[in-house]
């Protein structure tokens, strides 16, 4: 069972939920993790998810720790590059951990779709 982290900035939460709904047949057998607010939206959409703290309160760091300890197989982080984020250092740290530990990271819908295709083919 794949462990997948789901994170979205406020301006991208609806897009992430739509993505999950469109790909639920591929994600239904995965263990989903999310930051707090995003996780609440995912639950409202009918999915089981393990929630961490909200991103600005440390949720990004909690997911980064799971990446660093090889407990996360992939990360979908729908980022809003046009908005300011006070916890940007945490975001950068999470992205760095994905790079260091060779964990696939999708930051937008197009890369997330490719990751899903790769997951299906393996």
**Interval 70-90: pLDDT, tens:** 999 999 999 988 877 677 788
What are the pLDDT digits (tens) for 25-36? 999 889 999 999
Name 50's bridge partners.
33
Range of the domain at 8: 3-121
Burial class for 44, CB neighbours closer than 10 Å (0-12, 13-18, 19+):
exposed
Segment (H or E) for 117? helix 109-121
For residues 77 and 5, is the Cβ–Cβ distance under 8 A? Answer: yes
Q: Known catalytic residues?
A: 60
- Domain of 89, CATH number, reads 3.40.50.1380
Question: Above 90 in pLDDT, residue 18?
Answer: yes
pTM higher than 0.85, yes or no?
A: yes
Query: pLDDT over 70 for what percent of the chain?
Result: 98
**Residue 115 has what pLDDT?**
95
Query: In total, how many domains does the chain have?
Result: 1
pLDDT given at position 64: 97
């Amino acid at each position: 069972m794949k462990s997948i982290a789901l994170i979205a900035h406020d301006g991208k939460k609806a897009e992430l939920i739509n993505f999950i709904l469109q790909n639920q047949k591929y994600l239904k057998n995965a263990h989903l993790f999310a930051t707090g607010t995003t996780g609440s939206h995912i639950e409202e959409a009918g999915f089981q998810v393990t929630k961490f703290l909200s991103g600005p309160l440390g949720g990004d760091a909690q997911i980064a720790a799971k990446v660093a300890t090889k407990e996360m197989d992939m990360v979908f982080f729908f980022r809003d590059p046009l908005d300011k984020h006070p916890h940007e250092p945490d975001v950068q740290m999470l992205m760095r951990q994905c790079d260091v530990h060779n964990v696939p990271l999708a930051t937008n819908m197009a890369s997330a779709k490719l990751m899903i295709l790769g997951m299906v083919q393996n």
